[in-house]
Amino acid sequence: MFAFILRRLAVAVPTLLLLIVFSFVLMSLAPGGPFTGERALPPAVLANLEAQYGLNDPLWLQIWNYLVSIVVHFDFGPSFVYPDRTVNQLIAAGFPVTLTYGGLAFVAAVVVGVALGVAAAIWHNTWLDYLAVGISIGAQVLPNFVMAPLLVLVFTLWYRVLPGGGWSFNDPSFWIMPVIALSTSYMASIARITRSSMLEVLGSNHIRTARAKGMPESRVIIRHALKPAMLPVISYLGPVFVSMITGSVVIDIYFSTGGIGKAFVDSALNRDYAVMMGVTILIGTLTILFNLLVDVLYAWIDPKIRY
Amino acid sequence: MTKLFATTALVAALAMPAYAVQPAEGETLAETQTYTYWLLDAIKSLDPGKNTDVEGSDVLRQLFEGLMNENAEGEMIPGVAESYEVSEDGLTYTFNLRDANWSNGEPVTAEDFVYGWQRVVTPAFASEYAWYIELMNVANATQVIAGEMEPSELGVRAVDDKTLEVTLSEPTPYFINTLSLATTYPVPRALVEELGDAWIQPQNIVGNGAYTLASHNLGVEIVMQKNPEYWDAENVVMETVRGVTVNDNNVALTRYQAGELDRVQIPAGQFPRLEAEFPDQATSVPYGCSYAYVFNLSEKGPEVLKDQRVREAMALSLNRDVIVDQILQGGQRPAYTWTHWAINGFAAPEGGMQDMTQDERVERARELLAEAGYGPDNPVRLQLQYNTDENHRLLAIAAQQFWRPLGIEIELNNVEWAVHTDRLQNQDFEMARYAWCADYNEASTFLDWFRTDGYNSGKWSNAEYDQILAEAATAEDTEPLYRRAEEILDAEVPAVWVYHYAKVDMINESIKGLPTENLRNTWYAKDLYRVAE
Amino acid sequence: MVIDQTKMQSLSARLVQDEVKGRSPWADARKRFFRNKAAMFGLTILVLVTLFAALGGQFAAWSGEELDFSVMGRVAELGAPSLANGHYFGTDNLGRDLFARVVQGTQISLMVGIVGAAIAVIVGTLYGATAGYVGGRTDQIMMRAVDILMSIPYMFVLILLLVMFGRSMSMLFLGIGLISWLDMSRIVRGQTLSLKNREFIEAARATGVSSFRIIIRHIVPNLLGVVAVYATLLVPLMILTESFISFLGLGVQEPLTSWGALISEGAGTMNYGTLWQLAFPLFFFVITLFGFFFVGDGLRDALDPKER
C-alpha cells in the first residue's frame, strides 16, 4: 500500500511537468498577449513591459525560469492583469473561497445523495423510490448555468431571504446558493448510483444469509450492505471532484464569489500567463492527490483489491 | 490675442467656488449615507499609474484627487489646483495648489505630482498608460518612455511646495481636459519610497481623495469610507461607497431589483420595459463612444473593399434605425458621423445619407453595387469579426441580415478580446467591430483615430484629412475644420458608422447628484447624497 | 454527470466470460433490452428527437436566420409562441424563429455528441486494444501515460485549445472527444488482455496475420458490447460539455447554434417575460439526455444482467 502511494506520487511529478510545459507552449502560441489592449501600446512601452516580465526570453528559458522560481522560492510570479498582486496572493485569496463552497457542495452531494439512494433502494418500487428517481434524473441534467440565475431570482428577488452574491467567510448565508447550485447534479448522480448498487447488494447471497439468520433489517443494511454498496460511489468521487472544479467557474460568474474558477477562465482569455499557470498547477496537483485518496479509500473498503 | 482671452476666461471660471452638493429644498437626507454601485469585473489595480480601465478610474477618482475635477456637465473645475496660468505661447502651465492633505495627514505637495507623472513614464515602471502623458504633450515624454532621456527630464517640475509647472512640447488646446484622469494623480512619494510596491496593498494605501479604502475583496466588493482629512470634507455627505462585482449583467439587474444595488446597467433591449415600469429609475444619457465596423484597407485587406462603391453601399444599407430602436432600445442614436453627436462644439455635416429614407438608401446601395459589378448573383463575400459580447453578437447578426438581400454575404467571426485586438493591430481582419470612447470632450479625440499615424486599424489614409487635423490643433475656430474632416470620412467610407452610445442605467431614485450631462459619465461620490424615502 | 465505471468493468468482465463459454450474449440481451420499459421509452424519445432534427426544418415557417422585423424590439409582447405568425416556439431576442433555431441546435448538439463520443470510443478502443495486445513494456508505458493524462484538468485544457486555435466545429469535436477516451482505453485494455490468449487469436497469429490486422479484425469486434454501451453513455456527457463551452462563449459561431447556446441565451433573459426562449431548448436538451441515459443503462443491464 505504502509503495503504491509512493509510486503514484512519483508519477505526479512528470504529470505536473507535462501539464506546465503543455500549457506554457499553448499560451505562447495563442494570438495576443497580456498587454494587447484596445489601444496598441507604443513599441517602447511594450518593450519595457515585456522586458520586465521576461517575455523576451526564448520559450524554453521562460519555462525553465518559471520552474526554478516555483521549486526554489514557491513563487508563481506577478500577475500581468492585476499588477498590484502576485499569483500567490491571488490564489491565497480565491482558493479558500472555492475550497469552502466546493468542499461543502462535495459533502452535501455525497451525504444527501447516498441517503437518498439508500432510501430509494430500501423502499424499492414505492412512491418514495419513484420520487427520488424522478428528482434525481431531472436534477442531473439541469445545467448549473440555468440553476444559478434561477436561484438568485427565487431567493434574492422573490423571497428576499438570501444575498444574491458576494462572499463572506463569517456569514453562511452567502454560501447557501453556491453550494446548492454546485452540488445538485452530483447529488442526483450519486443517488442513482447508490440506489442501483444498493439494490444489487441487497439482492446478493450474503445479505440473504444475514436476513435468514434473523438479523434485524436496519442492522443488515448498516453492517453488511452499506459498505460494499459504496464502492461504485467511491470510484465516482474522483470524476465528481474534477467536474466540480469546472462547475465552480459558473458559480464564480453568477455569484461573484471571487473564487479561482473564474480567475482561471479570465486568465486564459486575458493571456494572464502567470495566473493561468498557477491555477492549472494547483488544480492539477489537487486532482492527482484526490484521485490517490480515492484509490486508497477504495482499497481500504475492499481489501480484495491489491496494488 | 484670442488665446490670451481664452485663458483669462478660464482663470475667471476657476475663481468660482468649488462645486459642492447640497440637498435641494424639501429634501431630507437619509440617515445612512451609503451608495452601492455595480462593477462588471474585479478592480485590476489601485495604483493610479497602472490603472487602465473605466471601473478602476471610478474607484481611483474617489481615493485620489488630481489637479482638476469635472462637474456634472463635464466641465473642468478646480481639484487640488486652486488656479493656474498659461504662458502666452501656450506651452507653460503653472498650477497653484491648495492646502490639502494625504489621508495620513501629510501635506500634498507639487513634488507628489512630479513624482507621480515621472513614475508613469519611467521605462522600468512599465505603465500601460504611459502613452497618456504623451497624449498630453508633456515635454520630453516620448523620449523618456523610449529610454532616451531620464525621467527627471520630463516637462514637469515643482517650483515650490505649492506651485507646479508643466511644460508642453506644443500648444495643446485640450491639455486642461486631460487632468482629471487617474494617470495624472499625485502619488505619496515618501510612502512609495518607503514601502515600494507594497504601498498599494489595502492596509498601506494612502490617498488624497474624499474617500479612503476600507476594504477590498478582489472580485467581490470594494468599500470606501469618507476621508476626514480631505480638504472639503465638511461638504461631503455620502459616508460609504461600495462597488459590488457581479459578472453577469442580468443577475446584476435582478440584484438591483432586490435592493442590493443602487445603480446598474440595463441589458440591451430592456430599457423600454423598465422605463414603463420604473419611470423614476430607468435613465438614458448620452455617452461619448461611437460604434463602427471598420474596413481593412491595408495591403492585407480584401480587394473588394478597395472599391469605394462597395464600402458606400454597405454604409448606406445598414439599417441603423432598427439597430437603435429595435435591438438596443436604450436611447442610443444612429451614427452618421464618427464623432459622437453630443461632443462640444461639433456640428455634423449637412445632407448626405441622413436625409434619405432607408428605402432610398437601399436603392442607392443596389445601384452602387451593380456599378461595381456585384449583386445577389455575384455576391461580395466578407468576414466580419467581433469580440465576445452579447450586444456585439446581436448587432453583427442583424448587420448580416441587412446586407444579405443586396448580395453582400457576411461570415461572422466571433473571437475573444485578446485575439480581436491583436488582429486589429496587425491588420488580420476584413471588417471588424470597433468602438472608440472620448478621452476628452472635443471632436479631435475621435477624428485623430483615422489620422494616417493614428490608431487607424484599417490603415485608411488621406493627406487632406491629416492636414486638416494638424491645422485644428492650433486653430481658433475648429468647428468648420472638424466638419470638413467628417465630410471626407463620409465620402471615402473607411468604416460604417453604426451608433452613438448612451449610458442606460437603473438608478435608485433616492440617490442624488449623479451627473447626467457628463459625456464620459465621470462621477464623484463626494457629490452624491441619499435622500430619505 | 459521469459514467459509473464499476458497472462498466463488471460488464466488460461479463462479456469476456460469455465469450469464453462460447455463446453470444447478443440474442439474450436483445430480448432483455426490449423488455426494459425505461430503455424502450428512452429509445422512443431518441427516435422522435432525431426525427425532429432531421425533418423539423420542413415544417418551419421561417428560416433560423431571418429577422422578423414585426416582432423585433417587442419580443416579450409579440414574440411568444404562436401558430398564427408561424413562430411555433416564439422568437429569440432578435426576432429569429426559435423553432427553426431549436431544430438547428438539435442537429448540432446531436452531432457534437455523437462525433465526440465516436472520437473518444475510436481512440480509446484502438489505444487500449493496442496496449493490451502488444503487452509488456509498451503496455506499461502506454498505461502509465494514461495515468498521467488522467490527472490533467481537461476542461481547462479544452478552454486553452479553443482560445488558442480559435473556435471551430472541428476543434470542438476533437477537444470534446479527446476528453473521454482514457477510461475507455483502460476497460478495453483489460478486456483485450483476457481475449489475447484465446485460441482463435493464437490461430490467427500462427498463420502470420499482422498484429494490426489481428487487433482490427479479431479483438475489436469482440469489444463491441462494451463499446456500444460506453458510446451511448458518452453522448450525453459530450452534449453537456458542449453546453458548458457554449456558456463560456467558446461554442459554435453565429448564426449556427446549439442547445447550449440557446439555453444560455434563454437563461439570461428568464426574468424578462420571454421564458419560452429557455423552455423549448431546455426541454429538448433534457429529454434527449434522459433518452441516452435510459438506453445506455438498458443496454448495459441487458448485456450484464444482475439478479434483482
CATH of the domain at B322: 3.10.105.10
Chain C residue with CA closest to B405: the answer is: C66
In chain B, how many domains are there?
2
Class of residue B466 by CB neighbours under 10 A (exposed 0-12, middle 13-18, buried 19+): middle
> Looking at the predicted structure, is the pLDDT value of residue C6 above 60?
yes
Q: Which of residues 121-180 of A touch C (CB under 8 A)?
A: 137-138, 140-143, 145-146, 149-150, 153, 157
Residues B84 and B143 in one domain: yes
Q: Is the dihedral of CA A140, A146, A152, A158 positive or negative?
A: negative
Task: Provide the pLDDT for residue A199.
Answer: 86
Q: Domain limits of chain C?
A: 43-303
Task: Provide the pLDDT for residue A132.
Answer: 84
Fold for the domain defined by C43-303? MetI-like fold (1.10.3720)
Give the number of A-B residue pairs with CB atoms closer than 8 Å. Answer: 138
Distance from CA of C232 to the nearest CA of B (A): 32
**Contact A259/A93 with Cβ under 8 angstroms?**
no
Residues B370 and B385 in one domain: yes
> Looking at the predicted structure, is the pLDDT value of residue A247 above 50?
yes
> Looking at the predicted structure, is the pLDDT value of residue C296 above 90?
no
Residues B345 and B465 in one domain: yes
Candidates C6, C156, C240, partner chain A, best to mutate (most A CBs within 10 A): C156
Is B279 part of any domain? Answer: no
pLDDT in tens, C215-266: 888 888 878 888 888 888 889 888 988 898 888 888 888 888 999 999 999 9
Chain A residue with CA closest to B221: the answer is: A166
Q: Which residues of B touch A271 (CB under 8 A)?
A: 418
Q: Is the dihedral of CA A182, A185, A186, A191 positive or negative?
A: positive
Which value, to the nearest 10 degrees, does the dihedral of the CA atoms of residues C88, C92, C94, C95 take? 10
Task: Provide the pLDDT for residue A40.
Answer: 67
Q: Is A96 on the interface with B (CB under 8 A)?
A: no
pLDDT in tens, A133-154: 888 877 888 888 999 999 999 9
User: Alpha-carbon Rg of chain A, whole angstroms?
Assistant: 24
Residues 6+ apart with CB under 8 A from C158: C175, C176, C179, C241, C245
Strand ranges for chain A from DSSP E: none
The range of the structural domain enclosing residue B298 comes to: 286-502
User: Alpha-carbon Rg of chain B, whole angstroms?
Assistant: 24
A305 pLDDT tier (thresholds 50, 70, 90): low
Q: Which of C150, C156, C157 sits opposite A291 (nearest CB)?
A: C150
Candidates C63, C65, C66, C67, partner chain B, best to mutate (most B CBs within 10 A): C67
For residues B373-390, one letter each, b for 16 or more C-beta atoms within 10 angstroms of the residue's C-beta and e for the rest, the string is ebeeeebbebebbbbbbb
Share of chain A above pLDDT 90, in %: 25
Subunit contact B219:A258, Cβ cutoff 8 A: yes
Count of helix runs (H) and strand runs (E) in chain B:
16, 19
Subunit contact B219:A94, Cβ cutoff 8 A: yes
Cα(B66)–Cα(B272) distance, rounded to whole angstroms? 38
**CATH superfamily of the A98-274 domain:** MetI-like (1.10.3720.10)
Residues B217 and B307 in one domain: no
Residues B235 and B334 in one domain: no
Residues B322 and B371 in one domain: yes
Residues B167 and B21 in one domain: yes
Q: Domain limits of chain A?
A: 98-274
Q: Which residues of A touch C245 (CB under 8 A)?
A: none
Task: Provide the pLDDT for residue C24.
Answer: 59
Distance from CA of A118 to the nearest CA of B (A): 37
Q: Identify the residue with better confidence: A219 or B446.
A: B446
pLDDT in tens, A201-217: 888 888 888 888 888 88
Q: Is C247 on the interface with B (CB under 8 A)?
A: no
Q: Which of A51, A148, A166 sits opposite B220 (nearest CB)?
A: A166
Residues B498 and B513 in one domain: no
Q: Is C77 on the interface with B (CB under 8 A)?
A: no
Is B322 part of any domain? Answer: yes
DSSP state of C91: B
- ∠ CA C39-C41-C46 to the nearest 5 degrees? 90
Q: Which of B130, B255, B416 sits opposite A269 (nearest CB)?
A: B416
Distance from CA of C170 to the nearest CA of A (A): 18
Q: Which residues of B touch A37 (CB under 8 A)?
A: 52, 128, 421
Identify the segments of chain B with pLDDT beneath 70. 1-25
- What is the ipTM, given to two decimal places? 0.88
Residues B516 and B498 in one domain: no
Task: Provide the pLDDT for residue A21.
Answer: 84
Distance from CA of A194 to the nearest CA of C (A): 10
Residues 6+ apart with CB under 8 A from A83: B44, B45, B47, B50
pLDDT in tens, A281-297: 888 888 888 888 887 88
Task: Provide the pLDDT for residue C18.
Answer: 62
Residues B401 and B518 in one domain: no
Residues B103 and B33 in one domain: yes
**Contact B393/B414 with Cβ under 8 angstroms?**
yes
Prediction pTM value: 0.89
Is B174 part of any domain? Answer: yes
Instruction: Look up residue A247 and give its amino acid.
Output: G
Helix extents (H) in B218-340? 249-257, 271-277, 308-317, 320-322
Is B164 part of any domain? Answer: yes
Chain A residue with CA closest to B44: the answer is: A82
Span A69-92, mean pLDDT?
86
Q: A25 by DSSP, 3-state: which?
A: helix
Phi and psi at residue B368, to the nearest 5°: -60, -45
Residues B94 and B216 in one domain: yes
